[in-house]
Amino acid sequence: MSEIELDLISHLSEYKRIFSFLTAEDIMKKELITLTPENYLSEARVIMRDKRISGIPIVDKEGKLVGLVSTERIIRALEEGIISNKIKEYMTPREKIVYFSPKDTFEKIVETFERYRYGRYPVIDEHNKLLGLITKHDILRAILKQFHSIYIHDRRREEYLNREVSILASDKFIEDKASFRYDINTQSISEAGEGTALLKKVLEKRGYHRDFIRRVSIGTYEAEVNVVIHAGGKGLILAFFEEDGVVVFVRDWGPGIEDIDLAMKEGFSTAPDHIRELGFGAGMGLPNMRRAADRLVILSQSGKGTRVEMVFNLKEGRD
């Protein structure tokens, strides 16, 4: 792995919190080229050359991982004049291979790449069956795939995600340190907004200007309503009170947003008819959040929910 590639991988560690939902089975490549111990090193050499890969997993008849052959092994075999020998005599044995389990986290994967600096890592189940392979390119591909689901209101994505103010990218804002917490637990649209009302009262008691409170309330309300309409009414509101403003974090575990760019367009809505008949779901929720907040981050993945961060700068001061 080149120094440039290692640098790319090391920078991914800055995004551990953002992509914490990714696991090894989400990242791994499932279409694999494998060989058996009875194949020859010369066969592995040809495959690596033709397919432009640097390693091949070695499996038994049941598909269980028993070893690994890398480019380094092939080069050594050529130097020693044993390229016609069988793989089983020169492969890296299973017990010396660093591997991942399907549910291993993105954080563990990145840390493993940084620690060992190998080019590839197999993914195996509890029965030692080979499920996939993860290379640095698979990690980067998974990250790029997720970036289409991130909407940044005011800055380039990479620049904003590196900022300290981001809940999603920093440990500064963590759940147990929130100044305000409200668990959303209702599917009744008539009850949507209760969390926002409680937050508004807290802001009023703390002496924030009414115009500032209005902006925070609008953004939070729209996010809360979205949880009730689109995420089965299960979610969480967190607020962090800073010297220069308020940060609101809303999370749900619903179906996620398939196309955030489309959802940001005014009038676009996926709300059911009975919700629209009640005067909700007009397709203005996300646009209103964008207008109310000074900075907006939306991170969503289909089937795994949505996370919203809104930063409200204290421009008006306090009464």
Q: Is the pLDDT score of 214 beyond 50? A: yes
> Given this model, what pLDDT does residue 167 score?
46
Q: What is the pLDDT of residues 159-189, one digit of tens each?
A: 444 444 444 444 445 667 789 999 998 866 6
Q: What integer pLDDT is reported at residue 151 of this predicted model?
A: 56
Average pLDDT, stretch 106-120? 89
What is the residue range of 190's domain?
148-313
| Residue 42 sits in the same domain as residue 157 | no
Query: Is residue 162 located within the same domain as residue 45?
Result: no
Same structural domain for residues 116 and 218? no
Residue after which a domain boundary falls, among 93, 126, 144: 144
Instruction: Yes or no: say if 125 and 131 are a contact pair by the CB < 8 Å rule.
Output: yes
Is the same domain home to 152 and 294?
yes
Same domain, residue pair 193 and 308: yes
Q: Is pLDDT above 50 for 277?
A: no
Read off the pLDDT band of 208 (50, 70, 90): very high
Q: Which pLDDT does position 280 carry in this prediction?
A: 42
Quick one: 112 and 214 in the same domain? Answer: no
Does the predicted TM-score (pTM) go above 0.85?
A: no
Can you give the CATH number for the domain in which 240 is found? 3.30.565.10
The per-residue pLDDT for range 35-72, each reduced to its tens digit, is 999 999 999 999 999 988 889 999 999 999 999 999 99
117 or 165, which is more confident: 117
Q: What pLDDT band is residue 122 in, cutting at 50, 70 and 90?
A: very high
Q: What φ, ψ does residue 298 adopt, rounded to 5°?
A: -125, 125
pLDDT at 163: 43
Q: Specify if 27 maps to a domain.
A: yes
Same domain, yes or no, for 7 and 114? yes
- Rounded to 5°, angle at Cα 126 from 124 and 128: 50
Domain boundary among 144, 178, 212: 144
